[in-house]
Amino acid sequence: MRFWDSSALVPLVVGQPSSALAESWIAEDDSMVVWTLAEVEVASALWRLEREGAIDERSAAGAEALAGRWIERAHVVDAVAEVKGLARRLIRVHALRAADALQLGAALLWADGRSSGAVLHTLDRRLAAAASREGFEVVPGAYTA
Which domain does 84 fall in, by range? 2-138
| Residue 31 belongs to some domain of the structure | yes
Instruction: Return all residues near 45 (Cβ < 8 A) that are at least 6 apart.
Output: 6, 7, 10
| Residue 145 belongs to some domain of the structure | no
Tens digit of each residue's pLDDT (9 = 90 or more) over 56-69: 999 999 999 999 99
Strand partners, 77: 35
106 CB burial (10 A radius; 0-12, 13-18, 19+):
buried
CATH number for the domain including 121?
3.40.50.1010
25 CB burial (10 A radius; 0-12, 13-18, 19+):
buried
Looking at the structure of the chain, the number of domains it has is 1
For residue 1, the model assigns a pLDDT of 94
Tens digit of each residue's pLDDT (9 = 90 or more) over 33-50: 999 999 999 999 999 999
| Residue 118 belongs to some domain of the structure | yes
| Residue 144 belongs to some domain of the structure | no
Judge whether residue 142 has pLDDT over 60: no
33 CB burial (10 A radius; 0-12, 13-18, 19+):
buried
| Residue 103 belongs to some domain of the structure | yes
| Residue 41 belongs to some domain of the structure | yes
Query: What one-character DSSP code corresponds to residue 117?
Result: T
| Residue 143 belongs to some domain of the structure | no
